[in-house]
């Protein structure tokens, strides 16, 4: 018998503390395992669904280091795009991660936002918060959307952890991107932000497939079957190549134009001041491994001012 074991056996309180710690660790591991098999959210637009899936991966540590900060940022972006589920999950992060700056009052405010958007579980959560005498904080909807700049995003690890059917989509992008002269990580980041590699994704605006091609773009680049992964990816890559040539390799404008259209980028002389587009540019740059410290504030997904001074929503949303 070694000395630590003998010490534990002779010290019942210490032994009990160790057993309790092991039980807590087992419970945490079980919760992470449960998180990894979280049910798919239905009824959300593809970009919102992608944010929720990526937020869950960050929250549970699937395909990346566990990061409540990243999860919170992605959930907030989903909420800002009209998702009650995004605000609901963000509220839960605040409740579960107080050591990371979360708080119950902000969670109550976020539950209220989720309830206003029709989330089924938010009203019950608000009632529980009220029973615990937690008053909602003011202004939780005015926090700036900002992705963390402290850790690079590993797109390779993330895509390896995706469901098996999406591995084929990832492999196609890796195979085809160099043929179109498009940076592979940029192409993967765009596909991740658009649909999270879902070849059957269809948005309320009829954007289709992996690269979320609207009908006019699909026709423009000769995509006859937009839900066929290879055709869709070729169309998206052809558009990225065209944008890269048009904007002389300015990756920030290329990404902004993929989201908002080249005419909007031209009209504003850069990233249009739409909340979704500003956040989208920052998200794609982050997913592609760009360093945030080297980017201008608008490109990094920061929305200065918040509240009434926040960038307006895209007019076609």
Any idea how long the chain is? 317
Instruction: Quote the Cα angle for 290-295-296, to 5°.
Output: 155
89/53 Cα distance (integer angstroms)? 11
> Considering 80, 85, 194, 276, which one is annotated as catalytic?
194
Q: Look up 194 and say whether it is catalytic.
A: yes
Task: Tell the residue number behind the tokens 């008053």, with chain if given.
Answer: 135
Phi/psi class of residue 101: alpha, beta or left (left: φ > 0; alpha: ψ in -120 to 50)? left
Torsion from C-alpha of 31, 193, 272, 84, nearest 10 degrees? -40
Q: What is d(CA 112, CA 115) in angstroms, rounded to the nearest whole number?
A: 5
How far apart (Å, rounded) are the C-alpha atoms in residues 194 and 190?
6
Tell me how far apart the alpha carbons of residues 75 and 88 are, in angstroms, rounded to a whole number. Answer: 8
Which candidate, 251, 50, 203, places its Cα nearest to that of 217? Answer: 203
Is the alpha carbon torsion for 31, 37, 41, 45 positive or negative? Answer: positive
C-alpha–C-alpha distance, residues 117 and 165, integer Å? 32
Task: Name the residues annotated as catalytic.
Answer: 194
């Amino acid at each position: 018998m070694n000395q630590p074991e003998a010490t534990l056996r002779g010290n019942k309180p210490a032994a009990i503390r160790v057993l309790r710690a092991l039980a807590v660790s087992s419970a945490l591991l079980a919760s992470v395992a449960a998180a990894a098999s979280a049910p798919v959210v239905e009824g959300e637009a593809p970009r919102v669904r992608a944010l929720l899936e990526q937020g869950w991966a960050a929250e549970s540590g699937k395909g990346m280091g566990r990061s409540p900060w990243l999860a919170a940022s992605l959930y907030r972006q989903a909420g800002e795009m009209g998702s009650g589920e995004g605000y609901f999950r963000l509220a839960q992060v605040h409740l579960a991660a107080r050591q990371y700056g979360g708080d119950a009052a902000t969670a109550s405010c976020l539950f209220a936002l989720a309830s206003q958007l029709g989330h089924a579980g938010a009203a019950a959560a608000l009632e529980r918060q009220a029973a615990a005498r937690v008053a909602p904080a003011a202004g939780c909807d005015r926090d700036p959307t900002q992705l963390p700049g402290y850790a690079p995003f590993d797109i390779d690890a993330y895509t390896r952890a995706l469901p098996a059917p999406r591995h084929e989509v990832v492999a196609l992008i890796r195979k085809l991107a160099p043929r179109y002269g498009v940076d592979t990580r940029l192409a993967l980041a765009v596909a991740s932000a658009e649909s999270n590699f879902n070849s059957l994704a269809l948005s309320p605006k009829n954007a289709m497939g992996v690269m979320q091609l609207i009908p006019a773009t699909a026709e423009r680049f000769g995509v006859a079957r937009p839900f066929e992964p290879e055709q869709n990816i070729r169309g998206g890559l052809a558009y990225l190549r065209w944008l890269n040539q048009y904007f002389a390799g300015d990756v920030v404008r290329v990404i902004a134009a993929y989201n908002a259209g080249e005419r909007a980028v031209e009209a504003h002389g850069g990233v249009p001041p739409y909340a979704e587009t500003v956040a989208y540019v920052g998200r794609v740059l982050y997913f592609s491994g760009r360093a945030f410290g080297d980017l201008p504030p608008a490109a990094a997904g920061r929305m200065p001012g918040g509240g009434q001074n926040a960038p307006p929503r895209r007019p076609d949303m």
